[in-house]
């Protein structure tokens, strides 16, 4: 009568258990917080890619800009029109938008810091839906009933911002934003253009720490001054 497993049998069993565990993990559904976090990281990286492949300074004369854009203003203050991720932290549209702001002719809409009709709204590479959680009534016509659900954090995942930590000279009320230049380096805002004076995006000097929350769960996303974008399991940004 056989009383024990051989060493080879034990190794085989351990390997099989490891494979079964790995397969099981693949089929465990992600929580709403995990999905929201993964999509946000993916979309921030997409904003960086757009900045690297679609340099706003050299695209001022392209056909993607509407006739309402003041070309001289757009060229002069091109840094204000870099691709950006804006985080909407209050109201019914908690989420984020990816867009390039424009210097439109009216003084009230020149680089107004909101994704509006006349601005360039990023489209999802998967389904061409608009990546903006801003008020739909203010977005371009092509975005009507065509919003990517993953950018609407609270509506889609019941996720909201626990906090966003950003350097002092970039703080805004109920919002925050990160721009990227054509080298993928991050900047922060806000922008203010009045007559011949202008406050333009500043180079990021400290980590941006985005903390998301769903019920009693939290997740952290980091954007480093060197352009790294990653999730943090310990709530700290310690890369770069």
pLDDT at 173 over 50: yes
- Answer whether 85's CB lies under 8 Å from 98's CB: yes
Mean pLDDT of the chain: 84
| 213, two tokens | 């929350």
DSSP state of 107: T
- Answer whether 41's CB lies under 8 Å from 229's CB: yes
Strands, E assignment, the chain: 83-88, 95-100, 120-121, 160-165, 175-180, 186-188, 192-194, 197-199, 202-203, 208-214, 217-223, 229-232
The residue-averaged pLDDT of 11-26 equals: 51
* pLDDT score recorded for residue 72: 77
pLDDT at 23 over 60: no
Residue in 183, 168, 176 with CA at minimum distance from that of residue 88: 176
pLDDT (tens digit, 9 = 90+) per residue, 180-232?
A: 999 999 999 999 887 778 899 999 999 999 999 999 999 999 999 999 999 99
pLDDT at 107 over 70: no
pLDDT at 178 over 70: yes
pLDDT at 42 over 90: yes
pLDDT (tens digit, 9 = 90+) per residue, 130-162?
A: 999 998 888 888 898 899 999 999 999 999 999
């Amino acid at each position: 009568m056989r009383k024990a497993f051989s060493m080879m049998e034990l190794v085989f069993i351990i390997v099989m258990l490891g494979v079964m565990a790995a397969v099981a993990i693949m089929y465990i559904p992600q929580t709403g917080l995990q999905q929201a976090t993964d999509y946000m990281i993916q979309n921030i990286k997409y904003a960086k890619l757009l900045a690297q492949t679609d340099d706003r300074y050299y695209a001022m004369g392209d056909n993607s800009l509407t006739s309402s854009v003041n070309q001289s203003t757009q060229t002069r203050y091109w840094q204000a029109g870099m691709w950006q991720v804006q985080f909407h932290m209050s109201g019914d549209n908690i989420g984020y938008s990816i867009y390039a702001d424009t210097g439109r002719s009216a003084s009230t809409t020149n680089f107004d810091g909101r994704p509006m009709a006349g601005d360039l709204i990023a489209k999802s590479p998967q389904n061409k839906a608009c990546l903006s959680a801003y008020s739909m009534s203010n977005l371009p016509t092509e975005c009507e009933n065509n919003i990517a659900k993953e950018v609407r954090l609270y509506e889609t995942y019941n996720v909201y911002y626990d906090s966003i930590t950003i350097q002092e000279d970039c703080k805004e009320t109920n919002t925050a934003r990160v721009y990227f230049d054509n080298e993928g380096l991050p900047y922060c805002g806000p922008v203010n253009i009045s007559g011949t004076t202008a406050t333009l995006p500043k180079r990021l000097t400290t980590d941006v720490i985005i903390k998301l929350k769903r019920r009693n769960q939290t997740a952290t996303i980091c954007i480093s001054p060197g352009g790294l974008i990653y999730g943090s399991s310990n709530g700290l940004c310690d890369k770069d």
